[in-house]
Structure 1
Amino acid sequence: MRNHRKTVRGHNMFWDIPKYNPPWLNTLSKDQLLSAMHIRVNDTISRTKGRLAHWDVNNENLHGDYFEQKLKNPNITFDMFRWIHQLEPGVKLFLNDYHVAVTGLYTTAYKTQAQIMRDSNVPVYGMGVQSHFKSSNIDFNAVKHEYRLDKLTEAGLPIWITELSIIDTDYNRKADALEDVLTLYFSYPNIQGILFWGMWDGQTFDTRTAIVNGPNVTANEAGLRYQKLFNNTWRTNVTQPLHHGIHINGFHGNYVLNIIHNGKIIETQYFHLGTRGKVVTVNLHGTDNSK
């Protein structure tokens, strides 16, 4: 993936739901389990150091407390974050949980958890929000969803949509739902990234999540809608005469700026437009023009 210039996340170092842990952990004493956890962190980081951008540290720990119960330590998740941060301080560490935005069952609990960790100087970077939808947009209400995102934002941490899936065999209906969901997520200021959780029917936890199908990875109606949004709707293409102080509004992202004279490109610059805007200065040789 890195050879193809793809950013990779680590998912996940630990999982707090009992059934997702190997049975041999149950045979360990408290001290043995703690030792095994340190081995897990040290060995894994020795293999991934410098290769990952993120780690989901203790997955879904609002829904399980396996390590808390086994170790009799209610703050073991805090320790997990600190262990990883000590070994690799450059990696951004995340909470990751479900029913925190798709439903409101755990919204307040998730916000509170994040606030406590932040206020306790735990090296938590962001809140991973799982977003698994079923039956198209029947269970998606943009107003309620945005309200829950607002509540999560009160924790003072960035949000990533870490697991987006829409389960529906009707591709046209799924396309409409996908556009609704992505439009909210793409426009929400505190959401820094969106990741699909299964998009090809050849490799996914549920083939009904697919937006591309078959051995040729062919886009279905939902996939075509995504391509239209990503490649056209949410792109900024502007052509203007060159003069001092050009001001352009654009979507956040990477840009190519071409200066064209008599039909030929005479200067090219690459830049990134983020939340704070960007001033791009262009020096044209042999002219008085800049900016």
Structure 2
Amino acid sequence: MKTLINFFLLICFLLASGDITRALINEDSYATTKEENTVKTLFSPYTKQEWRSYQQKKINEGRKTQLNFIITYPNKTAVKGAKLYIKQLTSDFHWGCGMTHRILNNLAYKKWFASKFTAADFHNELKWYYTEPKPGQENYSDPDAMLKFADEHGIIVRGHTVLWDDVKYQQKWVRKLPPEKLLQAANKRVDSVVKRYKGRLVGWDVMNENLHHNFYEKRLGKNASALFYNRVHNIDPHTTLYMNEFNTTENVNDKWARPEKYLRRLNKIRAYPGNSDIKMGIGLQCHYGAEPIDLHYVRNVLTLLSQTGLPIWLTELDVKMDPGLDNKTRSELQVIYLEEILRESFCHASVKAIIIWTGASIDGCDVMCMTNEKLENTRVGDLIDRLMEEWKTGNTEVVSDSKGMSRVLVFNGQYEVTAVDPVTNVSSSVTFKVDKVSVPDNIVHLQILG
């Protein structure tokens, strides 16, 4: 066993150092055939450095914008040597974390969460079995308070989940209901939770894990999911509705959740009468197991799903390690695998957010923790902090040339830019959104009134 572990660590070291080749997917290398609608994978040998270079290229293309500043006086004379102070206020990409009711009575946990994240998924607190454990006895006090905290700190929240297709997560009283009574109870549940939080959430997981499970389809018919998506949409028409599934990126051998089946179910929901106008999104749980992650498969899946044009959220990302390994080895490998999947995911611009599952050890994160009991970073926390810093523009200073021009490549998001006259110190500021469409021709005109 020890020999096997040593060999495994050697392979991981070589991967990390780039001394052996890995396979890079040609992003045009998927195809569908009449016989089998599946993802076709073609491999080419690339070093780790080349793989990373490709990821950076995609980040620059999909998540950044080249801004061209033109600084003038009111008479349109160019301002040479003007200093431009560029401050990123927000990012178009959201870092998120799982949240539980334990945050409500822990001030340090609240400060930690609010200082890092702009998005959240509640673990259990919005699920039906949590809000109505007994028929007719609804209690929304925990999710109400958690959402209030999120609102106060500008944290967007996903509605996880309206219904869950797995039989084992149904209350006993729900399991016993005959079809007619089940439909009435489920509709009541939909109406209750969606009307309560209408317009306050960034999205709803309407029917969780409906590729692997079929509790409602078995009892209410094959269109059960589509019916509930329709009902949620009619109540909350401006909120994005998601499928949310595991193993679509994690496990190439899981026949139930392959990307072509994911798309087939999504399209079936959209094709149901009355559902054509639903704003749909793709939710991928991303619970990676105790083995090296198949990044070639991940790349192909995300490339395929991105072609829908729908927003993709990685909703519950963590990396589990083999409990048989010693703590040091387990920690080192977990960080290696986690960084690989985070970098590969981020280079796909359709991925709008990554929710880490979970963060603080107070939430009992048995798979992956960002902190210990004192809210001090683990190695996982250090990695995520480093990537958070890498994937933002931060505060930048540039100087205009003799034509009053300056150029800078920035991450998409909201910005405040201040131009300062080099002679008079008079300044002019502007706030604007940066993405591929918000800045015409990527040109920003700033006028100094000095």
Measured against the shorter chain, the TM-score band is 0.7 to 0.9
Identify the residue that residue 168 of structure 2 maps to in structure 1: 19
For residues 223-261 of structure 1, what are the alpha-carbon distances to aligned partners after superposition, in whole Å with 9 as ceiling and x for unaligned? 112111111354365432235554432222333323234
Distance of aligned partners of 1:115 and 1:245 in 2 relative to their CA distance in 1, 3 Å threshold? farther
Identify the residue that residue 284 of structure 1 maps to in structure 2: 448
**Is the 8 Å Cα contact of residues 205 and 241 (structure 2) preserved in structure 1?**
yes
Secondary structure, aligned partner of 1:219: coil
Distance of aligned partners of 1:45 and 1:144 in 2 relative to their CA distance in 1, 3 Å threshold? closer
**Is the 8 Å Cα contact of residues 57 and 81 (structure 1) preserved in structure 2?**
yes
**Is the 8 Å Cα contact of residues 226 and 270 (structure 2) preserved in structure 1?**
no
Identify the residue that residue 56 of structure 1 maps to in structure 2: 205
Secondary structure, aligned partner of 1:235: coil
Secondary structure, aligned partner of 1:218: coil
Report percent identity of matched pairs.
24
Aligned residues: 281
**Is the 8 Å Cα contact of residues 175 and 223 (structure 1) preserved in structure 2?**
no
Equivalent-residue separation in structure 1 for 2:248 and 2:449 (angstroms)? 55
Distance of aligned partners of 1:284 and 1:48 in 2 relative to their CA distance in 1, 3 Å threshold? same
Higher relative CO (Cα under 8 Å, sequence separation at least 6) belongs to 2
Identify the residue that residue 289 of structure 1 maps to in structure 2: none
Equivalent-residue separation in structure 2 for 1:89 and 1:8 (angstroms)? 17
Equivalent-residue separation in structure 2 for 1:176 and 1:270 (angstroms)? 38
Equivalent-residue separation in structure 1 for 2:435 and 2:292 (angstroms)? 32
Q: CA RMSD in A?
A: 2.3
What amino acid maps onto 1:268 in structure 2?
A: S
Equivalent-residue separation in structure 2 for 1:164 and 1:140 (angstroms)? 13
1:42 to 188, 191, 197: 191
Equivalent-residue separation in structure 2 for 1:88 and 1:233 (angstroms)? 33
What amino acid maps onto 2:264 in structure 1?
A: T
Secondary structure, aligned partner of 2:419: strand
Identify the residue that residue 196 of structure 1 maps to in structure 2: 356
Identify unmatched segments of 5+ residues in structure 1.
287-291
Identify the residue that residue 139 of structure 1 maps to in structure 2: 292
TM-score (normalizing by structure 2): 0.58
**Is the 8 Å Cα contact of residues 238 and 279 (structure 2) preserved in structure 1?**
no
What amino acid maps onto 1:285 in structure 2?
A: L
Identify the residue that residue 253 of structure 1 maps to in structure 2: 413
Identify the residue that residue 178 of structure 2 maps to in structure 1: 29
Identify the residue that residue 278 of structure 2 maps to in structure 1: 123
Q: Which moved more, 1:114-123 or 1:188-197?
A: 114-123
CA-CA distance at 1:124 after TM superposition: 4.6
Q: Are residues 1:231 and 2:389 paired?
A: yes
Moved over 4 A (4+): 262-265
What amino acid maps onto 1:129 in structure 2?
A: L
Matches within 5 A, 1:37-116: 37-71=186-220, 73-104=221-252, 105=254, 106-107=257-258, 108-116=260-268
Q: Which moved more, 1:57-66 or 1:118-127?
A: 118-127
**Is the 8 Å Cα contact of residues 311 and 352 (structure 2) preserved in structure 1?**
yes
CA-CA distance at 1:184 after TM superposition: 1.0
Equivalent-residue separation in structure 1 for 2:419 and 2:334 (angstroms)? 41
TM-score (normalizing by structure 1): 0.87
Distance of aligned partners of 1:223 and 1:201 in 2 relative to their CA distance in 1, 3 Å threshold? same
